[in-house]
Amino acid sequence: NLADQVKSDYMDYSMAVLIGRAIPDLYDGMKPAQRRVLQTMLEEGLQPDKRYVKCARVTGLTMAYYHPHGGCYGTLVNLATPWNNNVPWIDGHGNFGSSVDGPAAERYTECKLRPSAVDLLLQDKATWETRDNYDGSRQEATRFNTAVPSVLLNGDAGIAVGFATRLAPHSLRSVVEATKLACKANAKPADLAKARETLIPDFPTGCDIVRDEQLQTYGETGSGSIRCRARVEATVQKRAGRAKDREVLTFTNLPPATNPEKIGEQVKDALEKGRFDGVAEVIDESDLTGDRVTVVAKPGVDSGLLARQLYAYTDLDTKYSAKTLVIDGLKPVELSPVEVCQKWFGWRMERLEIQFQHELDLRETRLEVVMGFLKAIDKIDAVIKVIRASQSPKEAVIELVSNRTLKFTSAQARAILEMRLRQLTNLDADELVSENAELDQRITELKVLIGDKAARTEFCFTQMGGLAKRHGEARRSQIIEPPDALEVGRQPGQRRSAVPSKPRFVKVDAKKGLVTQEKGPRGAMVMDRTEKLVLMTEDGTLRKVPSNFKGPISTDYSPVALAKRESEVTERSYLTVFILEGQLKAVVLSGADLCRANSKGKKWMPEGAEFHYFGEGSYTVPWVSPRKKKVELFPVNVRKGRPGAKGQKVANVEDVKLGAG
């Protein structure tokens, strides 16, 4: 059945995107492409103390061994850039770009692993969870044995079929501390509350985080809008001569994914629209030390109010929409940060048991061999006699095992045959005795760790504490209380500016459809800097522009039918009369509808209509019919409409003779 087949294929595709591409794993925090890049680098020996190699080599081998779906250079770059990660896994050398610029091509850049990747992710390779790679030639890791809940460290985003995730980054020290609180034996509600308070996101850019209800919601559910603000520092710019000193606002530690170049564009747009005033210059001073935007204020400006306006109208204050959706086994789950730590800890206990059992098997095997060496040294003459009497190595093993005096095991007998003569010296014998004691002690410790969950918990917490001390850093993002809000809404004509606003003198050429800015009030319209001008032309163009607008109103330079302040237009209604398809039509437009236009403009007459202007006197429009007496059309009889409406038919044009005026 076609429907069943399509459903089955689409589900397979959906799961492949969900699990094999877009959503990170709960337990090691990796997407498949990221995991494959790191595994390739480990297997190629790109250790922190080794030399750098070309990124093209790493990406090429990754595609050859594990990832044939396409290039993974972007994945490698994301794992290396410090402005994207609290704990970068890759040490990049060369031009890896910036928060705005892209990196150089992979043939020019180099990389190797960072110590953090080796210590936190890539330990105990022998006990990784693995599967066959795409062609069955290698074993590919499906999950690393991470020593901390790394899914919370660096943040990530992904869009799958029907699912999306956006993980918020956290400090390594905060994650370790919260895990200890939430996962200790007999954790109390107070411990869980403290863990939630500890797991406040920490962004690599170091932006401030506002403590509000959404932040609390994120801590409880894993989803919420985290309000991020750039930090600001005010200084005074000294100027020579008669020039007045100016205050300078320097914004650093920008919110994540904020383009400093875009800040300047947003300030310019806000100034053009009259949202605020008082800015003399905006400078992007970003460099290798980080992103930085400087705003130079005009003399006499209230810098505090200007800063609040900049926060209100630009990305200097923005929200990070977090959603903690991860893959648990083969299922997407949405968890809170504390629940992530708890689930990871349960998995970690199981993995530690497997790792300790694997190490125990190796240690017991080695102990058996060391004990055989010691016995062989003690009875070296008998051993040599047996070996010399044997015809082949296989026969020698059998004789050493079956000899009643020696009684070696098969493993000991094979090791003795491969033993070098130098191991018969007293020095090597002493080393074997010391190694034997160490193995005995470690085996005892491993048996305790395997059999006692409390011992494993203590080991896990101790290990995490050491890693946090070595690779963790102090919080970058500071928690601040909600700042004073700047009311964006305002009444028409009400000023809100950082500097006392001088009026603008605007002149409208009604015949040419042009707006100009004048130096004085003579013959001009006096407007507040924050006021808007509503313009209507006879070709049907309707625009609402800021007070500093100048230029043609419409592309056809059509005559102007209406040019008034927004505050004047809002409270009125306008009767418009036009000819459409041989009929005289009329419609009443409310001023509020006219003021909903924007600076780009829109059509207020239907397509193909011809406008007739009767002046701004009475709302009475006289017209004469050849078959009737003089009639007056009153606006009460005309239905209201919206810009673009076809209007109400008044008469056929061929029957109407328009009166004077």
* Amino acid letter, residue 189: P
SS3 label, residue 592: helix
Which H helix or E strand runs over 229?
Answer: strand 223-229
- Residue 220 and residue 322 in contact, taking contact as beta carbons nearer than 8 Å: no
Judge whether 66 counts as a catalytic residue.
no
Nearest to 659 by CA among 617, 623, 612: 623
Helices marked H in 453-524 — which ranges?
453-471
3-state secondary structure (DSSP) of residue 98: coil
> Cα separation of 321 and 256, whole Å?
11
Give the integer Cα–Cα distance in Å for 165 and 326. 7
Angle at 148 between CA 143 and CA 153, to 5 degrees: 95
Taking a C-beta distance cutoff of 8 angstroms, is the pair 53, 172 a contact?
A: no
Q: Which two tokens stand for residue 310?
A: 């900049």
Q: Rounded distance, CA 85 to CA 256, Å?
A: 11
Q: Which helix (H) or strand (E) holds 296?
A: strand 292-297
Q: Which two tokens stand for residue 293?
A: 């935007």
**Which of 10, 13, 108, 613 does the annotation list as catalytic?**
108
The token pair at 82 is: 């410090």
Secondary structure letter of residue 301 according to DSSP:
-
| Alpha-carbon span 163 to 331, nearest angstrom | 11
Instruction: Report the distance separating Cα 164 and Cα 166, nearest Å.
Output: 7
Pairing state of beta strands 631-633 and 621-624? antiparallel
What's the chain's Rg over C-alpha atoms?
39
Among residues 95, 30, 103, 122, the alpha carbon closest in space to that of 67 is found at 30
The answer to whether the CB of 534 falls within 8 A of the CB of 560 is: no
Burial string for 17-52 (b: 16+ CB within 10 Å, else e) reads bbbeebbbbbbbbbbbbbbbbbbbbbebebeeeeee
Phi and psi for 356 in degrees, rounded to 5?
-65, -35
Q: Which residue has the tokens 């994207």?
A: 84
The SS3 call for residue 49 is: coil
Catalytic machinery residues = 108
